[in-house]
């Protein structure tokens, strides 16, 4: 992953998108065309429809190309399942940018079976096929650090999953992400909906991707490079830092927090802040930090990790 500062300094503009969505091609409620229509109507620039890639649903990589147009595009993808995590349950791995002919494994249903690929193996195969791969909903899945560590090919961790927030209050990916960062993993952090439209699991977490064009190719390259931030509402407009502090430009928020290794963290609070300088004295020699914004409604935004 290249320097996330490029998300604010490189040519191009930010495009809003959701990376994790389901339709009637797996366990979603709405047909693919209607899912795309709703995201387009809500002002999204792009969508990845990622149906469950298992035999029960005939291993779908849903074709959303007919629903592109009018400033809206789609990226093909799927939620991959293969192998068991340490709790004995099936892996869930988000893969955005898969080719339509990505080969199925041996995953007949939502449980592990003998002889199937491991999670790390199918993740690596997806990356080799050109996909942006994220460790999906680590809290919902009950992942351990050893589980997450094993997905060596992953580009990202889902830092927030809106469907898991609404369905079971297990939306968080920060603990796993921070531990992996502290081991030196150069991962990015994505917020997603995981929308099925069977509950209020949509339009609650998204990515803002910096690219010169709203095309699948440009968006996918930017995602892999880490040229994006994630949000539930607040806007990140700029981040810079020196040895003593981090300077943040943003939409109006009440808290700007910088987190790093171990117990390292520092927050600045105020009313309708659009700029803030956060001292780095509480982060010691942490080799990395990331920024979290919280607005007056409690909605968050998350930067990518910065390596000092």
pLDDT in tens, 255-292: 999 999 999 999 999 999 999 999 999 999 999 999 99
Indicate if 171 and 283 belong to the same structural domain.
no
d(C-alpha 189, C-alpha 148), whole Å = 14
Q: What is the mean pLDDT of residues 233-250?
A: 96
Q: Which CATH number fits the domain that encloses residue 110?
A: 3.20.20.140
- Let me know if residue 1 belongs to a domain: no
- 287: alpha, beta or left? (left if phi > 0; alpha if psi -120 to 50): alpha
DSSP per position, 76-128: EEEEE--SB-TTSPBP-EEEES--TTPPP-S--SSS--TTPPPHHHHHHHHHH
Residue 169 CB neighbours (<10 A): 10
Q: Classify 296 as helix, strand or coil.
A: coil
Inform me whether the pLDDT recorded for 11 exceeds 90.
Answer: no
- Let me know if residue 133 belongs to a domain: yes
| Predicted pLDDT of residue 45 | 98
Q: What is the mean pLDDT of residues 173-193?
A: 97
Inform me whether the pLDDT recorded for 1 exceeds 80.
Answer: no
| Predicted pLDDT of residue 171 | 97
Each residue of 57-93: b (16+ CB within 10 Å) or e?
Answer: bebbbbebeebbeeebbbbbbbbbbbbbbeeeebbbb
* Tens-place pLDDT, residues 35-68: 999 999 999 999 999 999 999 999 999 999 999 9
Indicate if 155 and 280 belong to the same structural domain.
no
Q: Classify 256 as helix, strand or coil.
A: strand
Indicate if 253 and 219 belong to the same structural domain.
no
Residue that terminates a domain, selected from 178, 203, 231? 231
End-to-end CA distance of the chain: 14
Indicate if 215 and 175 belong to the same structural domain.
yes
Indicate if 81 and 151 belong to the same structural domain.
yes
| Predicted pLDDT of residue 4 | 47
Indicate if 77 and 121 belong to the same structural domain.
yes
Indicate if 244 and 268 belong to the same structural domain.
yes
- Let me know if residue 217 belongs to a domain: yes
DSSP per position, 159-226: EEEHHHHHHHS--B-HHHHHHHHHTT---EEEEE--B-SSSS-SSS-EEEEEESS-SHHHHHHHHHHT
Inform me whether the pLDDT recorded for 225 exceeds 50.
Answer: yes
Inform me whether the pLDDT recorded for 86 exceeds 70.
Answer: yes
Report the share of the chain in percent with pLDDT over 70. Answer: 98
Select from 288, 297, 295, 296 the least CA-distant residue to 258: 288
Indicate if 163 and 303 belong to the same structural domain.
no
Write down the mean pLDDT value for the chain: 96
Q: Which CATH number fits the domain that encloses residue 303?
A: 2.60.40.10
- Count of structural domains, the chain: 2
Residue that terminates a domain, selected from 199, 231, 263? 231
Quickly state the pLDDT bin for 129 (edges 50, 70, 90): very high
Indicate if 59 and 131 belong to the same structural domain.
yes
Indicate if 120 and 18 belong to the same structural domain.
yes
pTM of the prediction?
0.96
Quote the domain boundaries for residue 57. 6-231
Residue that terminates a domain, selected from 231, 251, 279? 231
Each residue of 110-141: b (16+ CB within 10 Å) or e?
Answer: eebeeebbbbbebbbbbbeeebbbbbbbbbbb
Indicate if 42 and 120 belong to the same structural domain.
yes
Indicate if 163 and 14 belong to the same structural domain.
yes
């Amino acid at each position: 992953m290249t320097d996330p500062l490029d998300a604010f300094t490189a040519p191009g503009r930010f495009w809003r998108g959701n990376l994790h969505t389901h339709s009637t091609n797996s366990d979603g409620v709405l047909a693919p065309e209607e899912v795309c229509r709703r995201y387009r109507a809500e002002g999204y620039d792009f969508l990845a429809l990622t149906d469950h890639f298992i035999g029960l649903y005939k291993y779908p990589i849903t074709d959303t190309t007919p629903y592109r147009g009018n400033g809206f595009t789609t990226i093909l993808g799927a939620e991959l399942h293969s192998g068991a995590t340490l709790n004995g349950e099936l892996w869930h791995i988000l893969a955005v940018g898969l080719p339509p002919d990505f080969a199925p494994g041996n995953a007949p249903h939502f449980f592990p079976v003998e002889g199937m690929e491991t999670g790390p193996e199918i993740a690596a195969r997806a990356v080799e096929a050109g996909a942006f791969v994220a460790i999906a909903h680590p809290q919902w899945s009950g992942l351990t650090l050893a589980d997450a560590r094993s997905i060596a090919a992953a580009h990202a961790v889902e830092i927030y999953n809106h469907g898991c927030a609404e369905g079971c209050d297990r939306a968080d990916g920060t603990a796993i992400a921070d531990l992996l960062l502290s081991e030196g993993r150069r991962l990015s952090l994505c917020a997603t909906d995981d929308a099925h439209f069977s509950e209020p699991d949509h339009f609650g977490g998204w990515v803002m991707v910096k690219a010169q064009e709203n095309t699948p190719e440009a968006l996918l390259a930017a995602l892999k490079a880490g040229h994006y931030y994630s949000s539930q509402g607040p806007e990140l407009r700029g981040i810079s830092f020196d040895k003593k502090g981090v300077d943040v430009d943003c939409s109006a928020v009440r808290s700007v927090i910088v987190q790093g290794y171990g117990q390292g963290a520092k927050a600045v609070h105020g009313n309708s802040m659009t700029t803030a300088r956060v001292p780095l004295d509480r982060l010691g020699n942490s080799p990395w930090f990331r920024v979290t914004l919280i607005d007056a409604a409690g909605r968050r935004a998350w930067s990518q990790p910065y390596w000092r």
